[in-house]
A and B are shown apart, each in its own frame.
Chain A
Amino acid sequence: MSKQLLINGSTHNINLPDNVPLLWVLRDEVGLTGTKFGCGAGVCGACTVHVDGEAVRSCQITLADVGGEVTTIEGLGTPNNMSIIQQAWVDHQVAQCGYCQSGQIMNASALLHETNQPTDQDIDYAMKGNLCRCGTYPRIRAAIKEAARRIAEKVET
């Protein structure tokens, strides 16, 4: 019943049954509430986190199946030290209600790791699993492109 999880660089001992989804481990056990519950069925993307850099729906992966380091939105950057992608989100004033944005940012961040200069089609394909009921899609697209530009500039310098 006990398992060690590496989350955002810290080790946590988790005493929960193997079948508990990672989402509920993070939110209710570890207290990392930046990761959101939206559907519980892997169809809205609000709970997206990284496991070893790959975007996963944390409501669909059980504690037993977590086989690597978990990164949540809190691990990506903080209000005083935001990651490039979070800064792009702020600069484009993407968020409205904001509830889906942790998942959007985590998913977009994984996309940029895989495809450093995504086309519109890449963005469509990668982001179609992340629902936003406020309709912030145009600004999400703009923020992803902006972050891609800044990451490329950083690599060059």
Chain B
Amino acid sequence: MTSVRTIARRTFLIGSAAIVGGAAFGVYQINKDAPNPLVAREGEVTLNPFVLITRDGVTLIAPRAEMGQGVQTTLAALLAEELDVAWEDITVLHGPPAQAYYNSVFLGFAIPGAHYKDTAFKHGLRQQVGKVGKLLDLQATGGSTSMKDFFERMRYVGASARETLKIAASRKIGIDLEKLSTKNSAVIVPDGTRISYLDLVEEVRHVTPPDVELRDKSEWNYIGKPMPRVDVVAKSTGTAEYATDMQLDGMRFATVRMSPTRNGMVSYDDTLAKNMDGVEAIIDLGDGIAVVATNTWFAIQAAGAIDIKWASATYPADTLVLRSAIMASLDGETDSTVRDDGDVDMKVAGTVVTAEYYVPWLAHTTMEPMTATAHFTGNTLEVWVGNQSPTATRDACAIAVGLDPSQVIIQTTMMGGSFGRRGESDFSVQAAILAKAMPSTPIRMTWTRAEDIKNDFFRPAIAAQFRGVVANGKAVLVDGKIAGPSVFQKSSLRQQGSIPPGPDRLHVEGAADQPYGIQNFRIAGHLTDIDVPVGFWRSVGASANGFIFDTFIDELAHAAGVDPLQFRLELTRSEHSPSASVIDAVCEMSGWTGTTPDGIGRGVAFTHSFGTPVAVVTEVEDTGGGIKINKCWIAADLGVVLDPHIVESQMISGVIYGLSAAIHGEITFSDGVVEQENFYDYDALRMHNAPKFEVRLLENNPFIGGAGEPSTPPSMPALGNALFDLTGNRARELPLKKTFSLIL
């Protein structure tokens, strides 16, 4: 079996030259405008941008990156479902930066309106607008979009490849096409003879792919079943390759110290560091320094020994002043009122409830800190990096080293977690600059944990003010204001150089788009213009708003004297039945009665995000030695469950990520510098305090929903609401460890 690395190098290395020369065969119908970036060598064939057949087997060139979410396994299942490849015959590689792999969903987010209200027409409109992503070379993994994007696309790819192979076989053996079938990576002749796909490599070159139709759901063999993950053996034997594991001849090891004030250096003194063990170069990066050495440890030691005077931050220098700036913008200009039903200024009879909320800045803290390996030869740059945005990474690296993008090769490795962080290109660019500074010497760069935390693009702190009215056991008015820095605007400015027009919808997602029928319902977004670098953090706006909005709903339920689960059920039932169904499901799963014994508390929460409604019931217990989270019951509706094992693990993963933030997560600033530096002061849930889980997946949703993010938003309010049930104290601020004696 040819190693994955060999295939990757052969296939991608001269990718751009091959596009010009037209060496690649076949054009996949739906993507006829996007050139195939793959290069078939002798004895190989690329049926389309996604399928490479060599003498060794069938390789899926994955258009999306693996950060743990299982995307490459499910993409392989979608392909294999139509192509009839035996599961053990399929290899998955991440594709090169190329238009063919564009994200067709992202731009559809720009269509106004809450997703849960989508009609077939509006859904189609989102899909059409999304296709503009192709023109922008928008190749990105994120926003829980991969399966929305490829549920059909990848099956068409498989069907097209299968029919093309059948035509090739028909010509080769002179038997009518209609008499041929396919099974286990082979074309089957009526007499039972098998013609392996691998033996059709020459014939298939000359076949034009026909139009194809997808198989009916009743014929599915792979979709809907738990498939063995394609990466699980490698990840259980230490053989999975991350960017920090690259081993190249003559390689050197580097680390960086970047400005923790995010505003560059005044001066530095490397007298001591220069003469330390193993140091080969100290490189001025303008906004920080890098040390290149013969061992990462030497690089880290020397970097720590450099005396650096940083420039002052351009943002308010400490947490409290930043918080005041955010609070002040609650009274400033309104950016959006994308939800404005009825009239919230009308005088409505009933009990008035008001509350203020605040959630802190958060870091991503992936297990693998930012890493990249790069090799510059003078007229080419090759970068191995776990990243969510290959085309943007390629272009940023090209600019940084003064090459044309066609001279830059990006090898997207597996990611040791991402959660949105590896959508940024900062660390890839650093490795590229170091490689250029030391031509022909491959450089493997690894950040320390402190760099990773202090130089993150943070989930912004968010402040909110809510007012509501309940009457006759129902919510009749909700008027909320949500303030904080805009992730969308700041990241657009950073990555594209401009801010797209229109209100920032992401800033209010998780609140403004909730499927609640409330007569007078307005959510206003207020933006705070401060320079702390902010970025996409698992579930983005809903990561803050899920907690804020659902906690307020819980407060309204208690004010109305109604069971909080029934209260949410009532709000969703007439508005969006798939949402009501997931609430019903957690009610049944958890045996919810509305009452709990002494020492036990239960909370329910619900958020509709990324097209998926998720309800969570969380149970907490006062053990006498601290509050323990016993169990979480999760129900979600993604429309169609492509792989129950993977979706279940994403639901649990999203909740643990959310609970970790809810309990521990808080980034603070002093003198413009983040104060946290490692897991001892920025911890997360661990084995001993992670709850038990039970997950149920429903399929009532008319459209396919995302899996990687939607369980994070409701995880936080479900815990806060459970703590209220247990203690009578309402959690209106995070992290919870500051106000509750949780077992840490």
Identify the A interface with B (CB < 8 A): 16-17, 20-21, 23-24, 27-29, 31-41, 43-44, 46, 72-74, 76-79, 82, 86, 89-90, 93-102, 105, 123-125, 127-141
Contacts and interface: CB of A to CB of B under 8 A. Distances in A.
A38 B367 contact: yes
9 contacts: A17-B277, A24-B296, A28-B296, A39-B679, A97-B417, A98-B240, A124-B687, A135-B653, A139-B649
A1 B296 CA distance: 18
Interface stretch (B88-96, B202-210, B280-288, B688-696): B688-696
B238 A124 contact: no
B610 to A, nearest CB: 18
A38 B449 contact: yes
A44 B367 contact: yes
Given A97-B68, A141-B687, A20 B297 contact: yes
Interface residues of B, number: 64
Contacts, number: 186
B393 interface: no
Interface string B658-679: 0010000000000000000011
B420 to A, nearest CB: 12
Contacts of B692: 138
A86 B686 contact: no
A154 B414 CA distance: 35
A134 B296 CA distance: 26
Contact of B690 (A24, A79, A125, A135): A135
A33 B679 CA distance: 22
B684 A133 contact: yes
A141 B368 CA distance: 22
A130 B240 contact: no
A148 to B, nearest CB: 15
A51 B237 CA distance: 18
A108 B357 CA distance: 41
B380 to A, nearest CB: 25
A36 B415 CA distance: 13
A23 B274 CA distance: 23
A40 B242 CA distance: 18
A87 to B, nearest CB: 8
B690 to A, nearest CB: 4
Nearest to A46: B367
Interface stretch (B133-141, B224-232, B314-322): B224-232
Contacts of A93: 226, 228-229, 232, 645, 649
B684 A131 contact: yes
Main secondary structure of the interface of A (DSSP, over half): loop
A157 B369 CA distance: 45
Contact of A134 (B417, B678, B680): B417
Given A97-B416, A98-B240, A132-B367, 10 more contacts: A33-B247, A41-B449, A41-B680, A82-B237, A95-B229, A96-B70, A97-B66, A97-B415, A100-B367, A140-B687
Contacts of A35: 238
A77 B653 contact: no
Interface of B: 66-70, 226, 228-229, 231-242, 244-245, 247, 253, 277, 294-297, 300, 365-369, 414-419, 446, 448-449, 645, 649, 652-657, 660, 678-680, 684-688, 690, 692-693
Contacts of B416: 36, 97-99
Contacts of B236: 82, 86, 89-90, 94-95, 98, 101, 105
A137 to B, nearest CB: 4
A77 B236 CA distance: 9
A128 B367 contact: no
Interface centre among A76, A86, A131 (most CB of B within 10 A): A131
A43 B365 CA distance: 13
A95 B232 contact: yes
A79 B239 contact: yes
B237 A135 contact: no
Contacts of A21: 297
Nearest to B371: A37
Contact of A90 (B232, B446, B449): B232
Interface centre among A36, A97, A101, A105 (most CB of B within 10 A): A97
Contacts of B237: 34, 73-74, 76-79, 82, 86
A25 to B, nearest CB: 8
Given A96-B70, A99-B416, A132-B367, A44 B295 contact: no
A98 B414 contact: yes
Nearest to A87: B236
A17 B369 CA distance: 25
Contacts of B684: 131, 133
Interface centre among B229, B294, B369, B686 (most CB of A within 10 A): B686
Contacts of B645: 93
A102 B82 CA distance: 35
A46 B245 CA distance: 14
Contacts of A16: 295
Contact of B368 (A36, A79, A105): A36
Contacts of B68: 95-98, 134
Nearest to A98: B235
Contact of A40 (B367, B448, B693): B448
Contact of B235 (A95, A125, A130): A95
Given A93-B229, A97-B417, A79 B449 contact: no
A94 B68 CA distance: 11
Contacts of B67: 97
B679 A124 contact: no
Contacts of A40: 300, 448-449, 678
Given A79-B234, A97-B67, A138 B295 contact: no
B446 A37 contact: yes
Given A93-B645, A96-B649, A131-B679, A37 B687 contact: no
A41 to B, nearest CB: 5
B62 to A, nearest CB: 15
Contacts of A141: 687
B449 A39 contact: yes
Contact of B296 (A37, A76, A89, A123): A37
A73 B236 CA distance: 8
B235 A135 contact: no
Contacts of B654: 135
Given A37-B244, A77-B237, A132-B367, A28 B687 contact: no
A101 B687 contact: no
Contacts of A105: 236
Interface centre among A39, A90, A102 (most CB of B within 10 A): A39
A41 B228 contact: no
A34 B295 contact: no
A57 to B, nearest CB: 12
Contact of B678 (A17, A33, A39, A94): A39
A133 B369 contact: no
Contact of A130 (B245, B415, B687): B687
Given A34-B237, A82-B236, A102-B238, A137 B295 contact: no
A106 B418 CA distance: 24
B238 A128 contact: no
B451 to A, nearest CB: 11
B367 A131 contact: yes
A24 B679 CA distance: 20
Report the 9 A-B pairs with minimum CB-CB distance, sorted nearest first: A34-B238, A135-B656, A98-B235, A99-B416, A97-B68, A73-B238, A96-B68, A95-B235, A24-B297
A135 B687 contact: no
A74 B236 CA distance: 10
A134 B337 CA distance: 35
B412 to A, nearest CB: 14
Contacts of A24: 295-297
Interface centre among B68, B229, B419, B655 (most CB of A within 10 A): B68
